[in-house]
Amino acid sequence: MGKHNNNDNHSKKEEPFPYEFGGPIGALATTLALPVVVMWLLQMGRVGAINFDFVQELCDDDKCAALTLVKCTLGLLSWFLFKVLLWYVLPGPIVQGAPVHGDKKNTLPYKLNGHLSFWAVVGLVFGFQIPLNEFLYKYFEPLAMCDIALCLAMSLYMYTNSFHPKGKILAKGGDSGNLIYDHFMGRELNPRWGDFDWKVFCELRPGLVGWMLLNIACAQEQLAVHGSISGSMYLVNIFQGIYVWDAQYQERAILTTMDVTTDGFGYMLVFGDLAWVPFTYSLQAKYLVNYDPNLSSISLGIILALHILGFYIFRGANGQKDKFRRNPNDPAVSHLLYLQTKRGTKLLTSGWWGMARKINYTGDWLMGLTWCLVCGFDSIVPYFYAIYFCILLVHRSMRDDEMCAHKYGDDWLEYKRQVPYRFIPGVI
């Protein structure tokens, strides 16, 4: 288990706290805006176009009825607890995570059985032919509203719980002393109940797999309403289903990501993992239920080829980095060139990572673009993901660049000289 590593001494420093996301004002604005964006997107996915009357339509559709909201809340809690039960009962190896705040003697154990949990859910859904559309699609919007409320409750609990008992491992970026900002960023780095790690669990289990179930519900609804499932609907379910499966299969790789090693578990991650991912990433499937573009086989084939290219880049780059981090002497990566930093870290300068510093982001975005392309060009609504994800990846790369510059100093400048491109070799 992790040792005490309190970071309350930042107030003793003369430097101002390094706020991100616009500081407390930006954190408050984002906290208030995210739920509105989610509900707006869901309504646009339903009507197939940009629509500013979503609040009125929600009320007109009687989706705010008390009984409906209670039913949806119980459904969400049952799903969360079911995923916890699968984590608890299914076998899986116990591995040590990355050093906490760089202290190699301070690591946390993680039970990895996300892959088994994933297949257990898939087996139940298809084995019992569960009509997910009768609940998930029917109550899409009220489920999102209840999920948003539960995310707020969870993030408030995580914030207040970070003060008791004393000695919690705090996230350096979420311990400013400002309630609004720290609640948003996450004050505690790895909130746990025993060996149950809230952050890693929420990162991969309820929201990510829930996204896949929402997609399946949309396919079932399209079949029920129109009598068949379109090629676009098949592809978006396959593309995104593989994405979810891959995350579960590569579960160990998440332990070295910024979300786990650096960011606290606050509103930003709670909402992102449990509300934003399932209810906005399923936008394409929701749109296709009633606005399928009936793309030709040739068009679908081109989109499939582009997706395969994106997945090849994404998985190849991430797999190479993860393998090198765990064992640089592995024959698959031992030939790679690297920059030895003064901190002792090795930064890859060949292979995938010699092409561009964030080559994995390029593959990730290409896959996301194909999710949108299957919806055709009749509306900009399903392209929200490609636009949003591009902005997110650029911002994330800037955060990472700033953090690494502080962490590695001159070594990072040398690394950028050896690998000058960020996303696309020879371009940018």
Cα separations in angstroms, 318 against 85, 170, 256 = 29, 27, 11
The pLDDT-based confidence of 320 (bands split at 50, 70, 90) is: very high
Under DSSP, the state recorded for 381 is G
Cα separations in angstroms, 62 against 46, 68, 137, 221, 289 = 16, 9, 15, 20, 21
180 and 96, same structural domain? yes
248 and 355, same structural domain? no
Distance CA 181, CA 19 (A): 8
What are the CB-based long-range contacts (under 8 Å, 24+) for 393-398? 393/358, 393/361, 393/364, 393/365, 396/258, 396/361, 397/357, 397/358, 397/361, 397/422, 397/423
169 and 283, same structural domain? yes
- For residue 151, with 0-12 CB atoms within 10 Å meaning exposed, 13-18 middle and 19 or more buried, which class applies? buried
The pLDDT-based confidence of 167 (bands split at 50, 70, 90) is: confident
Per-residue pLDDT at 57 exceeds 80: no
236 and 148, same structural domain? yes
Contact status, residue 301 vs residue 222, Cβ threshold 8 Å: no
Residue of 24, 32, 53 whose CA lies nearest to 148: 32
Strands (E), 154-214: 192-193, 196-197
Kindly report, residue by residue over 378-420, the tens digit of the pLDDT: 999 999 999 999 999 999 999 899 989 999 999 999 999 999 9
Q: How many CB atoms lie within 10 A of CB 205?
A: 27
Per-residue pLDDT at 148 exceeds 70: yes
49 and 5, same structural domain? yes
Distance CA 302, CA 313 (A): 17
Contact status, residue 313 vs residue 392, Cβ threshold 8 Å: no
Choose the final residue of a domain: 243, 273, 292: 292
Distance CA 384, CA 238 (A): 20
**What is the pTM assigned to this prediction?**
0.91
198 and 97, same structural domain? yes
- For residue 128, with 0-12 CB atoms within 10 Å meaning exposed, 13-18 middle and 19 or more buried, which class applies? exposed
Tokens of 141: 């919007």
The whole-number pLDDT of residue 179 equals: 97
Tokens of 269: 């991650």
Q: How many CB atoms lie within 10 A of CB 225?
A: 12
Amino acid letter, residue 75: G
* CATH code, domain with 353: 1.20.120.1630
Q: Are strands 109-111 and 94-96 parallel, antiparallel or unpaired?
A: antiparallel
318 and 223, same structural domain? no
The whole-number pLDDT of residue 8 equals: 45
The whole-number pLDDT of residue 58 equals: 66
306 and 231, same structural domain? no
113 and 97, same structural domain? yes
The predicted model gives 39-67 an average pLDDT of 79
The number of domains in the chain is: 2
Residue of 215, 209, 243 whose CA lies nearest to 229: 215
The pLDDT-based confidence of 3 (bands split at 50, 70, 90) is: very low
331 and 278, same structural domain? no
**Interior angle at CA 114, CA 116 and CA 82, nearest 5:** 85
329 and 248, same structural domain? no
Choose the final residue of a domain: 292, 320, 336: 292
Choose the final residue of a domain: 244, 263, 292: 292
47 and 180, same structural domain? yes
Q: Which domain holds residue 223?
A: 1-292
Q: Concatenated DSSP letters for 237-266?
A: HHHHHHHHHHHHHTGGGGGGSHHHHTS-SS
